[in-house]
A and B are shown apart, each in its own frame.
Chain A
Amino acid sequence: MSKRERVYLDYAATTPVRQEVLDVMLDIYKNEYGNPSSFYQEGQKAAKIVSNARDTVAACIGAQASEVYFTSCGTESDNWAIKGAAASLASKGKHIITSKIEHHAVIHPCEALAKQGYEITWIEVDQDGLVNPDDVRSAIRPDTILVTIMMANNEIGTVQPIGEIGKICKEKKVLFHTDAVQAAGALKIDVKDLNVDLMSFSGHKIYAPKGVGALYIRKGVRIANLLDGGAQEKNKRGGTENVAAIAGFAKAFELATTELEENSAKLSELRDSLMNQILAEIPYARINGHKSKRLPNNVNISFEFIEGESILLMLDFSGYSCSSGSACTSGSLDPSHVLLAIGLPHEIAHGSLRVTFGKDSRQEHVDNLVKDLKEIVKKLRDMSPLYSDFLKNGRN
């Protein structure tokens, strides 16, 4: 293991801003400082930029421009969708259905609502992290006001049958929200085909900057405001528009949509190569998440007998940036709720590694990573009392 150039393999955490996006943004920062709410020309030019961006994002997801609302991030979109739906439908009922493997931006708003008297049903997932649409169907009650299930999981990459769940919700006349933060740019999205009412997006996962996101709200769906303020976003989301970031986000989404097929093909090749090489060359490793219903850029593996933060630290030292579901990296005692939900025992969940590929990833990175991982896993296992126990006594 020697110090090398940095190899970034954590694109699910965030992505670098791509040049085309930066160009759009820099031009706006330099030349278009107007407030879109202002009456005079500078303001109207800025308003036009935001309106064009809205058209672009709408086109990427098969929506009308009037159904797209810009926000500050994916977390805001999730909070708005969930808390907004809960507030506006409280008189109809206080029951919300979600899954056990949602992002914290969905889990925590649901928990906050539970403290206010709402009842949350947490749908279990199978060993691959899949939600069974029939479980959603049977969980729906007369007082159910919202179903929120993510489109693709950020940790294990499992892609949910959102279309089927959407159909059930439509039939049962229950609002359906999906967090598509990880899916955008990786999977084809058509809000009509998917039958979603509310859908969250984030800019910085698709090579736009941090600090911008969007919420799709189907025409006719009314949810309460989260941010009351000025008349921005048709009186639904106060706050002066982040004009440059919104334009950057739209540019990034447009490029991601144009390049979707080509990128998915390239990324899934790297993904499959990494999974296959690890399984072939490193013993006592297992892939987490579904084999085929999976984001094209996501690999999640558990290495038995060792702990994830140690793996990350050694990888970092060797030049790689990856992430882990280990408790130690989050500062909490429990490992990732997603890995526990798919049935991994604590000690195996602690030893997980997530690698997510992106624009600059190459086959060479995969091959080098496998070589270095082999050494790192061996070094940590040689230090592990669990491994020496296993060698002496087998599995207990």
Chain B
Amino acid sequence: MQYSDKVMDHFMNPRNVGEIENASASGTVGNAKCGDIMKVDLKIENNVILDAKFKTFGCGSAIATSSMATEMIIGKTVDEALRLTNKAVADALDGLPPIKMHCSLLAEQAVKAAIKEYYEKNGLLNDENKALFDMLEEDPH
């Protein structure tokens, strides 16, 4: 198994590590038993993601995908961030080994879980957009 240079870069020098005080919303996915947990905090104003921070317990690709996913959504609108796919995160890292693809799914789930909380807090969750969060029920493993 070999990680790409980009994965190694995001693993060794992860972007956006930390927590946001008074975050607009946050999402935590995964569990310690399976060996990975991701927590993403978002700061959102006027429907734009001004900042994103993460904390991850997990392997190299779990940390790299968290770093890349947060980088990809900063400055985007919430709607744009909702369209972030795990494949886009993996592609941006020049690919992941097949057995590590679930890590990118976890990153997509962490972003979506945070946005779902944002929707719920602001009364934005409705029948129309509810389906967007169905994938949170999937087991990434």
Contact = CB atoms under 8 A, between A and B. Distances in A.
A90 interface: no
B117 interface: no
Contacts of A383: 14, 17, 55-57, 63
A331 B141 CA distance: 11
A326 B14 contact: no
Contacts of B63: 310, 383
A353 to B, nearest CB: 14
A149 to B, nearest CB: 29
Interface string A367-382: 0000000000000001
Given A383-B14, A383-B17, A327 B35 contact: yes
Q: Decide if the interface of chain B is mainly helix, strand, loop or mixed.
A: mixed
Interface string B19-36: 100000000100011111
B62 to A, nearest CB: 8
B59 A385 contact: no
A347 B19 contact: no
Contact of B60 (A310, A350, A382): A310
Contact of B32 (A313, A328, A333, A346): A346
A350 B56 contact: no
Instruction: State the majority secondary structure of interface residues on A.
Output: helix
B17 A307 contact: no
A326 B59 contact: yes
Interface string A333-366: 1010000000000110010000000000000000
Given A310-B63, A313-B60, A328-B59, A347 B11 contact: no
B57 A306 contact: yes
A335 B35 contact: yes
B55 to A, nearest CB: 4
Q: Which of B19, B28, B38, B63 has its CB near the most chain A CB atoms (within 10 A)?
A: B63
Contacts of B59: 307-310, 313, 326, 328
Contacts of A388: 19, 55
A388 B20 CA distance: 13
Contacts of B58: 307, 310, 328
B12 interface: yes
B113 to A, nearest CB: 13
A314 interface: yes
A385 B14 contact: no
Contact of A384 (B1, B33, B57, B60): B57
A387 B141 CA distance: 23
Contacts, number: 71
Which among A314, A327, A328, A386 has the highest number of chain B CB atoms within 10 Å? A328
B37 interface: yes
B35 A326 contact: yes
Interface string A305-323: 1111110011001000000
A306 B35 CA distance: 9
Contacts of B28: 385
Given A313-B60, A382-B17, A347 B55 contact: no
Contacts of B38: 385
B131 interface: no
B37 A385 contact: yes
Nearest to A383: B17
A382 B56 CA distance: 9
Given A384-B57, A385-B55, A386-B57, A307 B36 contact: yes
Given A347-B32, A386-B32, A309 B60 contact: yes
Nearest to A331: B99
A146 B19 CA distance: 57
Contacts of B33: 346-347
B35 A386 contact: no
A347 B37 CA distance: 10
Contacts of A347: 32-33, 35, 57
B39 interface: yes
A314 B89 CA distance: 22
A190 to B, nearest CB: 41
Contacts of A314: 12
A350 B57 CA distance: 10
A385 B35 contact: no
Given A307-B62, A310-B59, A328-B60, 15 more contacts: A305-B57, A310-B63, A314-B12, A317-B8, A326-B35, A328-B35, A328-B59, A331-B99, A333-B35, A350-B32, A383-B56, A385-B39, A385-B55, A386-B32, A387-B57
16 contacts: A307-B36, A307-B57, A309-B59, A310-B58, A310-B59, A310-B60, A313-B3, A313-B60, A317-B8, A326-B35, A328-B60, A346-B33, A382-B17, A383-B63, A385-B28, A385-B55
Interface of A: 305-310, 313-314, 317, 326-328, 331, 333, 335, 346-347, 350, 382-388
Q: Which 9 A-B pairs have the closest CB atoms?
A: A347-B32, A328-B59, A309-B59, A385-B55, A350-B35, A346-B33, A385-B39, A384-B57, A313-B60
